[in-house]
Structure 1
């Protein structure tokens, strides 16, 4: 119980607010901060020549943020997620191995602190998820499993979503239930798309024929989801990356015309996404049905953003396949630097 005269000095030294010292500040999630961070990371990825380099720069950027505000668990967990991304390149490409030990230990430290002290379940779960990836790429499978076991699972079929909508119906009426159903489906769609995307990344390199079959199905599924206008926004990044790995699989198979066809499909799909976002943003009643984070994503989905992401797909393929394969792919899509 320090003397009251020490409170301001303690807060300055620890780089926290006085409210935080007294347990009055809850570090509520600020969607605007999250979207701003995500946009900055995407800018780093766009401006960097290599994905591995971008991963390292993103870690450095977020670590600076963490040092500026060590009590901000959005920053801490976002840093851990960038280290999890870097772990792929350290493991598979031996990139930045000299810096890995430092970043791994810092990620474990800040991720563990977030799990212990954050008061928002989303960020606790994201910390577990990112730490699991770090341990997987570090070949520490026992620790990875410990974090995975802390995450929610659909295996019990007794999820909050399975009953919350019905609670809303009884407590607040059918319209409230309708809103709850939409929110539940948005979460389910994200989970399904993430599962498909992770599978596509692995299939495209190890079983390209399976990747083509699986990717076509995953895209059809996203198109069905998109028939519901309140789910379409939750598919955009997943759709783009599934196409990216589908194109990569076709290049591996030497089917460059197919790769070009899928790239054209991707461009058409992204334009449709843009037009859909504009229709939502121009209608205040429709905007109110999405949270601030999703509205931020929609606003950032500009024509410039679309071109950058399409270029990222091209750069990914050309970076994976230098030489003749890159030349054939570039020729098939009519690309020239």
Structure 2
């Protein structure tokens, strides 16, 4: 540790533009002490580590050469690879979701400071809550205690993240996930508390919009075009997600088949129009949303007892996807996703 610490003190001192004398004055010690540290002829007292890190503008872990970020990245990569393996198993979606949550429960207990994993755990538990919801799929009628244990654990760890994490994106994603858990638990008051602290787009004062303008005034239009491209993808993800929700609920719950089809067609049309510029969309999200909306149309047709229309919708989707500017693998993925939905939800529609 000594060698790393001495070199780090010297590096961070220079990064701050401080001389040894100036650093010594800020710490109320002698310049000779700083010189000894940096020349690796001595170590600072343990009581000096926190004020030393504060003056140099780094964490104590960074000062000591403990690369926690790199370690976290390795941990996150390992855990997410394991999750992907669980999700590729041959089990049903509900059982895979349950096993993923129980695995993440263990990993987040072993690594309580890894906020990325806690966020993942909250999101996967939100996904599990859909399968467990007795009004929707009711996949775990005999495992109530097992599911409740996961809920309580994910909510507790999510609350810890919200209270201690400085990354607003992770905090917002965790609020969103916890809201879904409470919704499926029918605890709407707590759900609303998490929803009400999330960013709101209704006032139009969003960061991405003014950030593009800042880039223009600071660096010019050519530089701004990069921001426009990034914001276009962000906008597509947001719009597509909203349209997916609209189509989903009309497909499942609208009693008037014609109105359900009209709304789903409208949602599909907007998504397809947006994707005319391929660099303006997340192609993976595009494929998933296209297949989702097609499936919700199938649901509406089947719920109305119109099997012929359902077959027409399926054939039409396959033809559209085959004619789009997609790779063979992307076309195959779109059809596999739709077929998986049909297989999983056939008992409902």
**TM-score, reference length from structure 1:** 0.72
Name the CA distance, whole Å, in 1 between partners of 2:339 and 2:74.
27
Superposed counterparts of 1:75-224, under 5 Å: 75-92=117-134, 93=138, 95=140, 96-208=143-255, 209=257, 210-224=259-273
Secondary structure in 2 matching 1:250 = helix
Name the CA distance, whole Å, in 1 between partners of 2:248 and 2:63.
45
| Range with bigger deviation, 19-28 or 178-187 | 19-28
Counterpart contact for 1:46–1:308, Cα < 8 Å: no
Counterpart contact for 1:59–1:83, Cα < 8 Å: yes
Q: Which residue of 2 aligns with 1:252?
A: 303
* Superposition deviation, residue 242 in structure 1: 1.8
What whole-Å deviation, never above 9, does each CA across 1:63-108 have from its counterpart, x for those lacking one? 2332343322221111111111121222221623221221111111
What whole-Å deviation, never above 9, does each CA across 1:181-234 have from its counterpart, x for those lacking one? 221221121111111222222222211523322111111111111111112324
Counterpart contact for 1:29–1:120, Cα < 8 Å: no
Name the CA distance, whole Å, in 2 between partners of 1:60 and 1:85.
13
* Superposition deviation, residue 62 in structure 1: 2.3
What whole-Å deviation, never above 9, does each CA across 1:133-166 have from its counterpart, x for those lacking one? 1111112212111111111111111111221111
With over 3 angstroms needed to count, the CA separation of the structure-2 counterparts of 1:319 and 1:112, relative to structure 1, is same
Q: Which residue of 2 aligns with 1:237?
A: 288
With over 3 angstroms needed to count, the CA separation of the structure-2 counterparts of 1:222 and 1:36, relative to structure 1, is farther
Secondary structure in 1 matching 2:171 = helix
* Superposition deviation, residue 277 in structure 1: 5.8
With over 3 angstroms needed to count, the CA separation of the structure-2 counterparts of 1:265 and 1:29, relative to structure 1, is farther
Q: Which residue of 2 aligns with 1:284?
A: none
What whole-Å deviation, never above 9, does each CA across 1:18-52 have from its counterpart, x for those lacking one? 83898974689969957983x76566455344332
Higher relative contact order (CA 8 A, sep 6+): 1
Name the CA distance, whole Å, in 2 between partners of 1:64 and 1:270.
41
Name the CA distance, whole Å, in 2 between partners of 1:26 and 1:240.
37
Name the CA distance, whole Å, in 1 between partners of 2:88 and 2:306.
27
Select the structure of larger CA radius of gyration.
2
* Superposition deviation, residue 129 in structure 1: 0.2
Q: Which residue of 1 aligns with 2:41?
A: none
Counterpart contact for 1:28–1:120, Cα < 8 Å: no
Structure 1 residue runs of 5 or longer lacking an equivalent are 8-17, 279-300, 322-337
Counterpart contact for 2:288–2:334, Cα < 8 Å: no
Counterpart contact for 1:34–1:74, Cα < 8 Å: no
Structure 2 residue runs of 5 or longer lacking an equivalent are 1-44, 50-59
Counterpart contact for 2:108–2:117, Cα < 8 Å: yes
Secondary structure in 2 matching 1:105 = helix
Name the CA distance, whole Å, in 1 between partners of 2:99 and 2:69.
30
Aligned residues: 285
Q: Which residue of 2 aligns with 1:291?
A: none
**TM-score, reference length from structure 2:** 0.70
What whole-Å deviation, never above 9, does each CA across 1:231-263 have from its counterpart, x for those lacking one? 232422222212222211111112222222322
Superposed counterparts of 1:299-318, under 5 Å: 305-306=333-334, 308-318=336-346
